[in-house]
Amino acid sequence: MQLSIFDLFKVGIGPSSSHTVGPMWAMCRFLQRLALHPLQGKVDGLQVHLYGSLSLTGKGHATDRAVILGLSGCRPDRLLPEEAEAICQQVALRRELVLDGRLVSFDPEQDIHFHSESLARHPNGLRVEAYSCGSLVVHREYFSVGGGFVVEEGEEQAVALDASGASPPYPFTTAAQLLELCQQHSISISELMLANEVSIQGDAQLVFQMLDHIWQVMEQSIEQGCRSEGVLPGGLGIRRRARRLCEDLKSKPEAALRDPLTVMDWVSLYALAVNEENAAGGRVVTAPTNGAAGVIPAVLAYYMRFMHGANQEGARSFLATAAAIGMLYKHNASISAAEVGCQGEIGVACSMAAGALTAVMGGSCEQIENAAEIGMEHNLGMTCDPIGGLVQVPCIERNTMGAIKAINAARLALRGDGKHRVSLDSVIETMHQTGIDMQSKYKETSQGGLAVNVVEC
């Protein structure tokens, strides 16, 4: 199945696509399956088992809350953060949730189980069980494989909840194939992607509206992050910085005349704002993950706010090009930090943003591929070691660095002719191999790196 642009860019809530958004989708899929079961009306209890990374950093990533919300019938793309808090509090207080209009026993403290061992298929595994009068009625296993994608037991690959099954006119699985198709049909990467997306969605105007909505939510997360202040939840005592930085930059407009690199401060601000919102459980766009949700909005905001000639059409082209690059990583490697470390999140987001910026700056397909390769090449080996299992340190600042690297990669590629030694396909395979070789303690378990070498309190 060809991925959609909107499989890579999904609206959801923080703090994690694989630990929050993915488990919510898994619960939604379980409810769909349960609704077809002949004993569905007699179910009176539910149990959920979290394994591996979902367990080890589950509390910090709000996986338990995601389970409650998903079993309550909430979809991450339609849920508002303030609604989430009220639902979780009600379920915890009543020790019941509403299932198909009926109250069913569910005590989060007793019915969500954390297991440090992993299931065989993926580090992010969970098992859902439905009971009637003490007997197991139905159970399923799901794997949250990064970026909000979910694979159910028996499936070979992730399937979107609303998958259309359409066949796109320009299918590709490698960067080499993508470049060949563009050359053969004399089209840009974004034009190819938009043609594929129209075949999936059925209407070009709908595709444009959906792309505009994604950028709108990204902008809203930047603006909300710049307005909010206080301490982020979780116990680390991390204070939000985006509002103060925003006020400081706005109060000194003349600074850019003295220091041209002030624009970097704005880019960092955009990334910081988004990921502080994500860490607070706010509404963001998975791009391609929540942990890396600030990179692409920051670079797209840089294009829209600082580059001459930027427009809505350019923003659409940016997102379409970024999605093409993200699909290559999703298909040939991974965007799950629990599987390959943070190179699969910040690294992939940087690569996507670098190629997309190159495209809207007038780069050729070869220069776009070059920029995407540079963006990943210099993120290879990045570990995922969140302190306290929270998507805060070093995650938030890593988004600022990923955004700046993406801009640098684009500018380097535009100074060249597109010819380079290392291909994007080669660097994707290298990232995949590096992730396999990486010790598990450096892959979103909070058992290595900064997570054990920095005192939490």
312-339 tens-digit pLDDT: 999 999 999 999 999 999 999 999 999 9
Return d(Cα 52, Cα 36) in angstroms, integer: 30
pLDDT class of 455 with cuts at 50, 70, 90:
low
386-419 tens-digit pLDDT: 999 999 999 999 999 999 999 999 999 999 999 9
The separation between the first and the last C-alpha atoms of the chain, rounded to the nearest angstrom, is: 47
80-102 tens-digit pLDDT: 998 999 999 999 999 999 988 88
Report the percentage of the chain scoring pLDDT > 90: 91
Query: Which residue is associated with the tokens 């943070």?
Result: 342
Q: Same domain, yes or no, for 177 and 154?
A: no
Residue bearing the bigger pLDDT, 181 or 155: 181
**Does residue 135 surpass a pLDDT of 50?**
yes
Q: Same domain, yes or no, for 60 and 145?
A: yes
Q: Of 215, 224, 377, 241, whose CA–CA distance to 297 is shortest?
A: 215
Q: Same domain, yes or no, for 276 and 345?
A: yes
Return d(Cα 272, Cα 396) in angstroms, integer: 6
Residue 11, classed as helix, strand or coil, is strand
Phi, psi of 122 (to 5 degrees): -160, 150
Beta strands in 33-148 (DSSP E): 45-52, 96-99, 102-105, 112-115, 124-132, 135-146
Amino acid type, 64 = D
Q: Are strands 112-115 and 45-52 parallel, antiparallel or unpaired?
A: parallel
Phi, psi of 273 (to 5 degrees): -60, -45
Burial 159-176 (b: 16+ CB within 10 A, else e): bbeeeeebebebebebbe
The number of distinct structural domains making up the chain is: 2
Q: Same domain, yes or no, for 151 and 215?
A: no
**Does residue 285 surpass a pLDDT of 50?**
yes
- Indicate the average pLDDT of the chain: 95
pLDDT of residue 165: 64
Q: How far is CA 318 from CA 179, 214, 300, 344, in A?
A: 17, 12, 7, 20
**Does residue 161 surpass a pLDDT of 50?**
no
Determine the structural domain holding residue 142 and report its residue range. Answer: 13-159
Query: Which residue is associated with the tokens 């690959």?
Result: 157
**Does residue 118 surpass a pLDDT of 80?**
yes
pLDDT class of 456 with cuts at 50, 70, 90:
low
Listed residues 124, 159, 194: the one ending a domain: 159
**Does residue 355 surpass a pLDDT of 50?**
yes
Q: Same domain, yes or no, for 246 and 391?
A: yes
Query: Do the domain assignments include residue 452?
Result: no
Query: Do the domain assignments include residue 453?
Result: no
Query: Do the domain assignments include residue 1?
Result: no
What DSSP line would sit under 278-326, residue for residue?
A: HHTT-EEEESS-STTTTHHHHHHHHHHHHSTT--HHHHHHHHHHHHHHH
315 and 375 Cβ atoms separated by less than 8 Å: no
Return d(Cα 25, Cα 152) in angstroms, integer: 11
Q: What is the mean pLDDT of residues 254-272?
A: 90
18 and 147 Cβ atoms separated by less than 8 Å: yes
Report the percentage of the chain scoring pLDDT > 70: 97
Q: Same domain, yes or no, for 154 and 178?
A: no
Query: Do the domain assignments include residue 351?
Result: yes
pLDDT class of 141 with cuts at 50, 70, 90:
very high
Return d(Cα 19, Cα 31) in angstroms, integer: 19
Q: Same domain, yes or no, for 90 and 221?
A: no
Q: Same domain, yes or no, for 90 and 216?
A: no
Q: What is the mean pLDDT of residues 275-292?
A: 97
Q: Which two tokens stand for residue 174?
A: 């490698």
Return d(Cα 79, Cα 294) in angstroms, integer: 20
Q: Of 175, 196, 173, 172, whose CA–CA distance to 365 is shortest?
A: 175
27 and 71 Cβ atoms separated by less than 8 Å: yes
Phi, psi of 2 (to 5 degrees): -75, 130
Q: Same domain, yes or no, for 191 and 317?
A: yes
Return d(Cα 100, Cα 41) in angstroms, integer: 8
Q: Same domain, yes or no, for 316 and 195?
A: yes
Q: What is the mean pLDDT of residues 137-159?
A: 89
Query: Do the domain assignments include residue 222?
Result: yes
189 and 365 Cβ atoms separated by less than 8 Å: yes
Q: What is the mean pLDDT of residues 14-30?
A: 96
**Does residue 164 surpass a pLDDT of 90?**
no
Query: Which residue is associated with the tokens 């769909």?
Result: 32
pLDDT class of 205 with cuts at 50, 70, 90:
very high
49-58 tens-digit pLDDT: 999 999 999 9
161 and 25 Cβ atoms separated by less than 8 Å: yes
Query: Do the domain assignments include residue 215?
Result: yes
Q: What is the mean pLDDT of residues 183-194?
A: 98
The CATH number given to whatever domain includes residue 43 is 3.30.1330.90
pLDDT of residue 426: 98
Q: Which two tokens stand for residue 140?
A: 């399923």
Q: Same domain, yes or no, for 206 and 136?
A: no
Q: Same domain, yes or no, for 126 and 198?
A: no
Query: Do the domain assignments include residue 135?
Result: yes
355 and 369 Cβ atoms separated by less than 8 Å: yes
Q: Which two tokens stand for residue 330?
A: 């999703």
Query: Do the domain assignments include residue 3?
Result: no
Category of 389 on φ-ψ map: left (φ > 0), alpha (ψ -120 to 50) or beta? left
198 and 280 Cβ atoms separated by less than 8 Å: no
Return d(Cα 164, Cα 154) in angstroms, integer: 20
Instruction: Identify any residues that bridge with 96 across adjacent strands, giving them in sequence order.
Output: 105
Listed residues 159, 184, 202: the one ending a domain: 159
Kindly report whether the peptide bond that precedes residue 171 is cis, defined as omega within 30 degrees of 0.
Answer: no
